[in-house]
Each structure stands twice: as structure tokens, then as C-alpha cells.
Chain A
């Protein structure tokens, strides 16, 4: 079935560092979403992207909808301990009901 390739699978960084992760697909998507999941909770929406080339920020988070419509990037600047968690990308094609998820990027921060 349709898959999103998310990388890296895990990251171990120092507090204060910047983080980058990305998601690629063999198909074109019309929506890219980025979610964060904390332990014991459901994924929470961070940023939604609806237009190719769109660059959107949410505090220290910035995400971009790739110009080819086949990829998206999430950057976190000046990481803090509460950024720890699993980050998921998700994509949806126009007319498709299904939201497809990447495998997740597990972020660990050393204080």
C-alpha cells in the first residue's frame, strides 16, 4: 500500500540543538501534516500544510510542503526537554479519505 518514508527513525541530541526530519513519498500529496505523540497519549497536530512550497511556523517549529508535492520537512530550533517524543508526518491526496502516516521519528534530548 501507500507508504511514507520518514527519516531519521531516531535522533539523540543535546538540549539547545536544532532538529531536522523529513518525509518522502513516491506519490503526490495535497496535504502534509506533522504530529507529535507523547507517551501514553494520542498524536497531537503541530502543523498542517496545504500548498506546494508552503512554509509554516508554529513557535520553534517550522515545516515545509515540498515543491514536488512528494516530500515535507520539519525543523525544530533550540530544542528543549519537552520536545522529546515521537514525531509523525502524514499525507493525504485530494479526493482520498485516507491519511497515511510515516513510521515516526523518535526524538531524545540529553540535558
Chain B
């Protein structure tokens, strides 16, 4: 009965490859997010979708493309991977996108680019 699940947990790949990370939430939430956590543990938002519609798109390289086939899924595709993309990527969801709707996180995908 995992609430927010993302796969894979670990992803090791070479520079220049294209990879995808999948996320699913079974909480019935309307809003989903992708966050990046760097080596210093700083969490920074990348994207947010509300009911399949993109509502936040931070200054992320356009090699990163989120896709939301339905409101329970938000996948992240990364083209032409670079060394600096190595990080832990967290998917999260919230009931709504409002200020009083806390985020629930998945367990992360550790991406290592060699």
C-alpha cells in the first residue's frame, strides 16, 4: 500500500544516454511534483503538475521533460545525460496545489551518471 512509489530506486548510466524515471501515487491527489536533491541534501523543485497540467517549471534544462499521462502518474524523461545530473530525484504529491496541502514524497531515485 505504498503511497508514492517511484522506479527505479537506483539508476547508473553513461553520459549522453537517455533515461526515464516513473512515479505513481495511489493517494488520489491532484498535484504531483519532481524535486532534485543534490549532494549537499538541498531539495529543489523542478516541476509540478496539477491534474495532468504543468503548473511549475523551474529553470531546468530542456533535456528534462516531465510527462503526466493521468493525475496518478508523473514520469521524468532525461535526454543526453550529463555528469551534473547525478543526484537523487524525488517524486511527491499533494491533495491540491494550495498552501495548506502538504507534500508526500516517494523514496527517491539515485541517478549516477558516469
A31 to B104: give the CA distance in the assembly, Å.
15
A40 touches B107 (CB 8 A): yes
| A16 within 8 Å of B (CB atoms) | no
Interface residues on B, range: 20 to 34
Of the candidates A30, A40, A97, the one whose C-beta lies within 8 Å of that of B56 is: A97
Interface residues of A in 29-76 (CB under 8 A from B): 30-31, 33, 35, 37, 40-45, 48, 50
A98 touches B99 (CB 8 A): no
B60-77 vs A, CB cutoff 8 Å, 1 = contact: the mask equals 000000000000000000
Interface residues contributed by chain A, number (CB under 8 Å): 28
- Distance in Å from the Cβ of B1 to the closest Cβ of chain A? 15
A99 to B104: give the CA distance in the assembly, Å.
12
| B86 within 8 Å of A (CB atoms) | no
Of the candidates B92, B100, B108, the one whose C-beta lies within 8 Å of that of A41 is: B108
A48 touches B41 (CB 8 A): no
| B102 within 8 Å of A (CB atoms) | yes
A86 touches B45 (CB 8 A): no
A81 to B56: give the CA distance in the assembly, Å.
38
- Distance in Å from the Cβ of A4 to the closest Cβ of chain B? 11
- Identify 6 residue pairs between A and B in the complex whose beta-carbon atoms are under 8 Å apart, listed by A's number: A42-B90, A45-B104, A86-B41, A95-B99, A96-B99, A98-B56
